[in-house]
Amino acid sequence: MDDKQKAQAVFAALLFTPAAAWFITAKAVYGFTPQDVRQRLPYLFKNTFELWPLWSALLVGVVLGIVIAVLIVRLNRTVFAGAHFDKFYRGTKLTSAKHLARETTDRKLPQITIAAVPVPVDAENTHFSIGGATGTGKSTIFKEMMFGLLQRGDRMVVTDPDGEFLSAFYRPGKDKILNPYDSRTEGWNFFNEMQDDYDFERYAKSIIQPSDSSESEEWNDYGRMLFREVARKLFNTSRQPTMRDVFGWTNQRPVEELEAFVKGTAAQALFTGNTRATSSVRFVLSNKLSPHLKMPDGPFSLRDWLADPNGGNLFITWDENMREALHPMISCWVDTIFTSVLGMPVDHSRRIWTFLDELESLDRLPTLGDALTKGRKKGLSVVTGYQSYTQLVRIYGDELAETLLSNHRTTVAMAVGRMGEKTADRLSKALGEHEVMRRKQGTSRRWGQMGTRSENEEVKTERVVSVAEIMALPNLEGFLAFPGNLPVAKYKTEPVTYTRAEPVPGILRTDRVFS
């Protein structure tokens, strides 16, 4: 309803509601027929304020008309902060969070919420991106979603800086933790994921993630080859191989022994006369494999955990002091999870939620693109939080960063810093545009003549939320856009404290890795 229609509706409510109340009362109390209506109505109208049923009806009608007018204004209040327009043609509509919630609520199905707005069930496995600067409320949205999933019984993989989510939602004895510096961690190594020979090809990229530099990526590829062949041979010849065994062969044994060990494999070509190339490959593996040496060995397998419907949730934790040492491992685990999910049978009823907070702090995840485009059939839902679009471009490049974000069908846009123009521009663009018409009136005058009025119609396509609006958003406020033709809602949320009877530390430190 545009402003002109709204004004007409308000006028009608204020005028016709009292008139209708008066007429109905006059007919019911005093009665008149088609034959005597011309005589009775003028008399009743003239004596309205002397006949208490009529003036009471008129008063009730006025009050009711005011109530209807207020409802018309409130229910059609626009969230659009731009210039007034007279007609909407097509594109994105803006609305309030309450109005959107009424459209998305499905009382037959349990739904999770974002800013108290129920998420359409069909949107759950089309992935979610949450963009905003530090302190704007991304964690509040994450926690609200996690709490709803916990109540519903869905399974989650949570990358958790500082253990904030773990301290709120971890269930001892049921959920799992991966962090070599946490005494509660599961024991894990790469070989726990190996079930077939081709798994060495699949998971090698999770261990040695691609680089954004083509020159570095060439050496990474050689490193993957050497790692793959050493790991495969150890798997086939050793009883319980570990990453320490792999590292021993690739980086600690003399070159001659390593060459003899991989003789007859594809990696043998790395030792054909160029000792400098061999040293470069070993250096790559030293950098990529050394974080795995901190991880205690144990039987935990990400593939087995994913396949177990009663396996609980998984928290991958770190704090800022650990970040530099652990980020290759964190990226490895996340990518291994994506690779494993993509290898699972199709199951549209399965739900495995992966929360990636601070995506730009992880190494490049080679399987993330496939997880977003192909994971839906396997029940995968990815929720990504990021602060800077520019950082994503640095890691993934322009085209891949665009592809990754475009496959997140639900967008939550929160405030960004005033210097983060590219990020704000991406969020503004993601919220959509509308095509509207505005009437422009003008008056022209000539000396000695009467003025003439003119009216022109201007049709314009413009963004529904400007870059400046996103930059100026207060903390805990933002815009929510679901897939499809649903309107975009502006929301305001509040911080929620999740308390538990027995507090759980986010990270329970251990000195095991130094012993």
| pLDDT band, very low/low/confident/very high, at 447 (cuts 50, 70, 90) | low
Distance CA 318, CA 326 (A): 7
Q: How confident is the model at residue 513 (pLDDT cuts 50, 70, 90)?
A: very low
Q: Return the structure tokens found at 276.
A: 């400098």
pLDDT for residue 298: 94
One-letter identity of residue 227: F
Mean predicted lDDT score pLDDT of the chain: 89
What is the pLDDT at residue 339? 93
- Domain 98-147+300-312+325-492, CATH 3.40.50.300 — does that match? yes
Confidence of residue 337 (pLDDT cuts 50, 70, 90): very high
The domain limits of the chain are: 3-77, 98-147+300-312+325-492, 190-294
515 pLDDT band, cuts 50/70/90, is very low
- Let me know how long the chain is: 515
Q: In the CATH scheme, what is the homologous superfamily, with its name and number, of domain 190-294? A: Magnesium chelatase subunit I, C-Terminal domain (1.10.8.80)
Pairing of strands 94-96, 488-492: parallel
Contacts of 176 (CB under 8 A, 6+ apart): 186, 300, 305, 311, 312, 313, 314, 315
Mean pLDDT of 8-14: 84
Q: What percent of the chain has pLDDT over 90?
A: 59
Contact 383, 407 (CB under 8 A): no
pLDDT at 42: 84
Higher pLDDT, 41 or 241: 241
| pLDDT attached to residue 338 | 95
Residue 3, pLDDT above cutoff 70: no
Q: Is the pLDDT of residue 111 over 80?
A: yes
Give pLDDT, residue 77. Answer: 65
Q: Residue 1 pLDDT more than 70?
A: no
Q: How far is CA 513 from CA 8, 296, 320, 508, 509, in A?
A: 74, 8, 18, 14, 11
Query: Is it the case that residue 329 has pLDDT exceeding 50?
Result: yes
Mean pLDDT of all residues in 406-431? 93
Name the nearest CA neighbour of 248 among 264, 234, 267, 266: 234
Cβ–Cβ < 8 Å for 297, 187: yes
pLDDT category of residue 43 using cuts at 50, 70 and 90:
confident
Lowest mean pLDDT among 21-30, 174-183, 281-290, 363-372: 21-30
At residue 276, does pLDDT exceed 90? no
Cα dihedral 384/388/394/398 (nearest 10) = 80
pLDDT reported for residue 343 = 92
Half-sphere exposure of 423 (CA within 13 A, CB side): 25
Give residue 171's pLDDT.
Answer: 96
Task: Give the pLDDT of residue 445.
Answer: 65
pLDDT tens string 219-271: 999 999 999 999 999 999 988 999 999 999 999 999 999 999 999 999 998 88
CA nearest to 160, candidates 175, 179, 145, 174: 179
> Which pLDDT band holds residue 82 (cuts at 50, 70, 90)?
low
Helix spans in 109-212 (H) = 138-152, 164-169, 199-207
Considering only CA atoms, which of 243, 224, 207 is closest in space to residue 339?
A: 207
| Residue of higher predicted confidence among 280 and 43 | 280
Exposure string over 378-393, b if 16+ CB within 10 A, otherwise e: bbbbbbbbbbbbebbb
The per-residue pLDDT for range 361-407, each reduced to its tens digit, is 888 888 999 999 999 999 999 999 999 999 999 888 898 899 999 99
